[in-house]
Structure 1
Amino acid sequence: MATIAPTSSGSVSTSNAVETTRWVLGRIGRTVVTILISLVILTAGWWVALKALNANAFIAKTPLDVVKYLFVKNPLLTTAPSDIRHILWQLLEVTLYHAAIGFVGGIVGSVIVAILFTMIRPLEFMFMPLAMLLRTVPLLAMAPVIYLVLGNGALTAGFIGGVVVFFPLLVNLTLGFRSVSQQSVDLIRVYGGNRWTIMTKVAFPTALPHFFASMRIAVPGALTGAMLYEWLFTFQGLGGVINQAKTNSNYGQIWAIVVVITVVAIVFYTITTFIETAVLAKWGPNAGKSINK
């Protein structure tokens, strides 16, 4: 009589590990390829748009002009390309500092408020409409009010950047926490779990795809908020120097700043995607999806 040999747990674990690794590498590869293709299309579209509009070459710089500004000595400029790159790097450090404050503050605030909204339902009914109302106010109109209340400094920079990060994360996290299946909730309650157990064991893993989807928006948003603060209220960072460059008709520097901040945003977006892939792999490639089936 034929018998069927049981599958060992080691074989199953190895198979799962291989499948997860393959999924992680495949997702990372697709992300890298997508970003490279997007960069090529963006650069080509930039060049074509300037040529099609017949833009003034003194003001509108092509990708090649920016490369020359950053790496090729221009006899009309007294500053060497190495010094230009060094200056931009110092300015970028200031902008990243301002963006980091807003980014961290926005994430921490949104996570705390989303947890409160989920665990204390009346709070969401009372304050979510107010949060959505504040979200509709243009940041350019809100920034002067924030500046008048908080004054000049890192706190104002962080608050302006935090506003950009806070609202998308709050909405998506709350939606993610609410996506927990009733079967999972009932199972935890049968074993004596409370609301916090449901939050930590089920709601957090379920909300991870929502969280990282918002994080990809929050990364460039924090940079935008930091540059807006610098542009409006200071002469610091990449945003603040734009005003000075415009006054001096240094359009090469303006376009170089745009390119630098765009590349930085793409780099951090990519890093966020890699972190998302690694974190979701801990719960399996289908983390946050099977609960909806």
Structure 2
Amino acid sequence: MDVIDTSPATPAASHVGTADPIAVARLRAERRRGLRRTLLRSLGNAGITLLVLLLLWQAIVSLTGISPYIAKGPLDVWTFLVTAPKAEANRAQMFPLVGQTLLDAWIGFVVGMIVAIVLAIAFSLSKAIEAGVMPLVLLLRTIPLVSIAPVIILVTGRGTPASVAVIGTVVVLFPALANVLFGLSRASQQSLDVVHVFGGGRFTALRKVNLPGALPSVFAAARVSVPGAVTGALLAEWLSTGTGIGGSILKFNAQAQFAQLWTSIALITLITLVLYNLVQIVENIVLARMGMAAGR
């Protein structure tokens, strides 16, 4: 017959039962405070960068002696978009162009990051694949993109999403691949040995150890790839689609629409800065939740 112990809990047991929730709550509060600090630091860095860019922009316009008809400063762009009598029409002209460029940049960013991660995993699993494919990646990196863009457009078609994706991927691929490969190579040897001791193979070690440990490098690759994706989108629009900011800059210059030209540059620069810091904020949140340092 089972005997049920109805005696009161000992002080030690009671202390253990109440200490764990308190410790967990303290740990969560500390993580929230750390996350707030990193977010505030990211926003502060973005604000400082934006301020420096605005000051440099205004200094270049004011001190180089360029005609005000051609050179437009931050206040001119603000007037064009916000306070001018035709500001609403100006926004209606510029914002769809920016939206198209963002869509093209998103295509290049996603495809480039996926290809980079897949190649990095394949290189980690097989040295033969790395020896065969890496020279092609280096070749794409070495040859100026403007030189091979006509071939890309000929194969994928002028003005097609495929041409945008390929051109964006070529710009994004190499720096993203280098970062992800670096992260995969930094796995703890002790952790890899534990996986092998318990009978795990190379793929298991990659899934259990290498990939989780490479997350900071994957986010670093994403941050580096954001400006590259925007550059690739502008280049694809200029050479292939003729849409978006990249396709309109030459038209603005040829038609002496310098307010639109400077506004295009300002909006793309601002959006690139915002996207870069957005990726950084997501990185801080994810790594904090996983108990990993963001590395800054």
TM-score by length of 1: 0.90
Counterpart in the other structure of 1:97: 103
1:64 to 72, 75, 79: 75
1:274 aligns with 2:281: yes
Cα distance in 1, alignment partners of residues 132 and 165 from structure 2: 26
- The code of the aligned residue for 1:102 comes to G
Equivalent residue number for residue 47 of structure 1: 58
Give RMSD over aligned pairs.
Answer: 2.1
Deviation (angstroms), 1:256: 0.3
SS of alignment partner, residue 285 of structure 1 = coil
Cα distance change, pair 164–253 in 1 and its aligned pair in 2 (3 A): same
Secondary structure at the residue paired with 1:91?
helix
Q: Quick one: distance in 1 between partners of 2:32 and 2:76? A: 42
Tell me the equivalent position of 2:121.
Answer: 115
Q: Unaligned 5+ residue runs, structure 2?
A: 1-11
Q: Which stretch shifts more, 189-198 or 243-252?
A: 189-198
Correspondence for 2:33: 22
Separation of aligned partners in 1, 2:294 and 2:270: 30
One-letter amino acid of the structure 1 residue matched with residue 226 of structure 2: V
| 2-structure distance, mates of 1:134, 1:92 | 28
AA matched with 1:115: I
Tell me, in whole angstroms, the C-alpha distance in 1 between the residues paired with 2:25 and 2:100: 46
Q: Deviations over 1:229-277 (max 9, x none)?
A: 1122333111111111111100100000011111111121121111111
Which amino acid is the alignment partner of residue 107 of structure 1? M
Contact residue 146 and residue 160 of structure 1 kept, 8 A? yes
Quote the offset at 1:92 in angstroms. 1.6
Amino acid paired to 2:196: R
Q: 1:82–1:288: structure 2 CA closer, same or farther, 3 Å change rule?
A: closer
Determine if contact 2:113/2:172 at 8 Å carries over to the other structure. yes
Q: CA deviation at 1:287?
A: 7.0
Going from structure 1 to structure 2, the CA distance change for 1:164 and 1:64 (only over 3 Å counts) comes to: same
Q: Which residue of 1 aligns with 2:139?
A: 133
The 1-side partners of 2:205 and 2:21 are apart by 30
**Structure 1 stretch displaced more, 272-281 or 251-260:** 272-281
Secondary structure of the residue that 2:293 maps to in structure 1?
Answer: coil
Q: 1:246 to 1:145 in 2, by over 3 A?
A: same
How many residue pairs end up in the alignment? 282
CA distance in 1, matches of 2:69, 2:121: 52
Could you tell me which residue of structure 2 aligns to residue 172 of structure 1?
A: 179
Q: Which runs of 5+ in 1 are unaligned?
A: 75-79
Give the Cα–Cα distance (whole angstroms) in 2 for the partners of residues 212 and 21 of structure 1.
Answer: 20
Write out aligned runs for 1:181-196 (5 A).
181-196=188-203
What is the CA–CA distance in structure 2 between the aligned matches of 1:235 and 1:126, rounded to whole Å?
Answer: 36
Identity of aligned residues (%): 37
Name the structure 2 match of 1:217: 224
The answer (yes or no) to whether the contact 2:283–2:294 under 8 Å persists in 1 is no
Deviations 1:128-162 (A, max 9, x none): 23312321222222222211221111110111111
Look up the SS of the partner of 2:256 in the other structure: coil
SS of alignment partner, residue 221 of structure 1: helix
Q: Which has the larger radius of gyration?
A: 2
Contact 1:103 1:162 in 2 (8 A): yes
Per-residue deviation at 1:52? 1.9
- Shift of residue 72, structure 1, vs aligned partner: 2.7
Identify which range, 142-151 or 153-162, moves more after superposition.
142-151
